[in-house]
Amino acid sequence: MPVPYIDDFRSPAMVRGLLARLHDAAAGLGTPLRVMEVCGTHTMAISRHGIRRAIPDNIELISGPGCPVCVTSNRDIDAFIEMVDAPGAIATTFGDMLRVPGTRTGLAEARGRGADVRIVYSLLDALDIARINRERPVIFFGVGFETTAPTVAASLLQARDEGLSNFYVYCAHKLVPPALEALSTAARLEIDAFLCPGHVSAIIGARAYDPVAAKHGIPCVISGFEPVDILQSLLMLVRQVSSGVAAVETQYSRGVRPDGNPAAMQLMLSVFESSDAEWRGLGNIPESGLAIREEFAAHDAARAFEVDVSWSREPSGCICGQILTGVNKPPDCPLFSRGCTPEHPVGPCMVSSEGTCAAYFQYEIQTAEL
Amino acid sequence: MATIEVGGISRQASLVLLPDAAAGDYVLVHAGFAISLVDKQEALETLQLMSELLAEFEGRPADGEAPTGGA
């Protein structure tokens, strides 16, 4: 059976009506509205559906640090690639990470040199690989936000209970609300509103954004992923701004509850604890990442395989860091579509299927000023 | 583990993060794990709210642009 009412959330009549309503509401805005979306899936949906070109000129959509692969620092990528060289090691990763270049090399090149790097769709697959290869270390590259972290936590619990002592996780997970707070206080960005991620919010709940709205006075709307969802969410944000309100609203109420998924949160926090984390583009943000708790130390790749990546640095010429914070748009980068394309990516924003540069390259290049 | 249907294809998904899910529920699945229930009633209410909003804007009765409310 199809997902209920999904066609209605893609209805052209509904989209036309919402666009007309949005143009009407935005006409009353005093100053242009800068809305940051903080979810790679939103970035892709906005580009794919041509939303950027259809909405009023005085609403600017800025892509934030919502792509898991993109926000992973080169230091973490380099460290994971170094671990792959451990004798007999099997590296497991989500597919997006394979082609992201590190400082010296990427995972794809490491595989070309003979390293055993395997793409998995789910942590369940990584566990299966560990079961089949009990004598070899199987290391999973844990990147992503609160949507993915509980699935990694569940796999670590499973590995412990099964006695899969050869299963390790290199943990580079990040938390969304601390990043939003950091972005809120970055004066040069002047973000007026946040379009908050749908799936992260399904886990953390709408209340997790309360500090962003209450403390920083920035309106937040949690949005679904269909065109109708995104346009309605923008309309809700315009209405908040017009009436001088900063609150957290949930447009994606069919998937997100005020308290999120408490079972998943509890499981995540039983395995991980919050820690400082280094974000590409944003630098170090206190308490914005997850680290593996002491009781799971035996499965922590960072503890088991010590590597030196003091030589790690960001790619030269690539402005991915500025793209991720919304300071620049992809066409501002001298490499965009010239030295850097999805076939030959220089930085992660062009590699990932959720990356801002990839979204612009695929869907918006005809309107980009090249 | 549960059997789920995605676009007509049967797949397996873990319910460890969503222990209350029952047969027949719609769920959001991320990387092989069900993470949230999709609430049909909430979906309907969102659509209803939107069609009322649009009808009000266009000065027509609320059922003028009503969604088809398909399966």
Instruction: Give tens-digit pLDDT for A56-114.
Output: 999 999 999 999 999 999 999 999 999 998 999 999 999 989 989 999 999 999 999 99
A202·B35 Cβ contact <8 A? yes
Q: What pLDDT was estimated at residue A370? A: 46
Nearest-by-Cβ selection for B46 from A7, A150, A253 = A253
In B, minimum Cα distance to A18 occurs at B54
Nearest-by-Cβ selection for B33 from A9, A94, A151 = A151
Share of chain B above pLDDT 90, in %: 49
Share of chain A above pLDDT 70, in %: 97
Per-residue model confidence as pLDDT tens digits over A278-314 = 999 889 999 999 999 999 999 999 999 999 999 999 8
Could you give the 3-state DSSP secondary structure of residue A134? coil
Contacts of B66 (CB under 8 A, 6+ apart): B51
Query: Which residues of B fall below an 8 Å CB-CB distance to A?
Result: 5, 12, 14, 16-20, 26, 28, 30-33, 35-36, 38-40, 42-47, 50-51, 53-54, 57-58, 65, 67-71
In this prediction, the answer to ipTM > 0.85 reads yes
Best residue of A8, A22, A155, A233 to probe chain B, by most B CBs closer than 10 Å: A8
Q: How confident is the model at residue A2 (pLDDT cuts 50, 70, 90)?
A: low
Q: How far apart are the first and last CA of chain B?
A: 26
pLDDT of residue A188 exceeding 90: no
pLDDT of residue B69 exceeding 50: no
Q: Residue A312 and residue A166: Cα distance in Å, rounded?
A: 27
Beta bridge partners of A168: A139
Q: What pLDDT was estimated at residue A360? A: 93
Q: How confident is the model at residue A315 (pLDDT cuts 50, 70, 90)?
A: confident
Could you give the 3-state DSSP secondary structure of residue A70? helix
The secondary structure of A291-351 as a DSSP string is EE-GGGGGGBHHHHS----TT--PPSS--HHHHHTTSS-GGGSTTBTTTB-SSS-SSHHHH
**DSSP element (H, E) containing A118:** strand A116-119
Residues of A in contact with B38 (CB under 8 A): 3-4, 254-255
The backbone torsions φ and ψ at residue A35, rounded to the nearest 5 degrees and listed phi first, read -110, 125
Contacts of A227 (CB under 8 A, 6+ apart): A9, A10, A15, A45, A49, A51
Q: How confident is the model at residue A159 (pLDDT cuts 50, 70, 90)?
A: very high
Calculate the average pLDDT of chain A. 93
Q: Residue A173 and residue B31: Cα distance in Å, rounded?
A: 15
Nearest-by-Cβ selection for B71 from A4, A14, A122 = A4
Residue found under tokens 């893609």: A10
On whether the CB atoms of residues A111 and A136 are closer than 8 A, the answer is no
Determine the residue type at A186. A
Q: What pLDDT was estimated at residue B68? A: 41
Measured between alpha carbons, how far is residue A99 from residues A102, A105, A297, A349 in Å? 9, 10, 29, 11
pLDDT of residue A14 exceeding 70: yes
Q: Residue B48 and residue B10: Cα distance in Å, rounded?
A: 31
Q: What pLDDT was estimated at residue A179? A: 94
* Distance (Å) from the alpha carbon of B62 to chain A's nearest alpha carbon: 13
pLDDT of residue B61 exceeding 50: no
Q: Put residue A244 in one of left, alpha, beta given phi > 0 → left and psi -120 to 50 → alpha.
A: left
Nearest-by-Cβ selection for A8 from B39, B58, B67 = B67
B69·A18 Cβ contact <8 A? no
Report pTM: 0.91
Per-residue model confidence as pLDDT tens digits over A214-257 = 999 999 999 999 999 999 999 999 999 999 999 999 999 999 99
Beta bridge partners of A289: A174, A275
* Count of A-B CB contacts under 8 Å: 119
In A, minimum Cα distance to B20 occurs at A263
Q: Residue A353 and residue A66: Cα distance in Å, rounded?
A: 12
B32·A203 Cβ contact <8 A? no
Residue found under tokens 């998904």: B13
The backbone torsions φ and ψ at residue A285, rounded to the nearest 5 degrees and listed phi first, read -120, 125
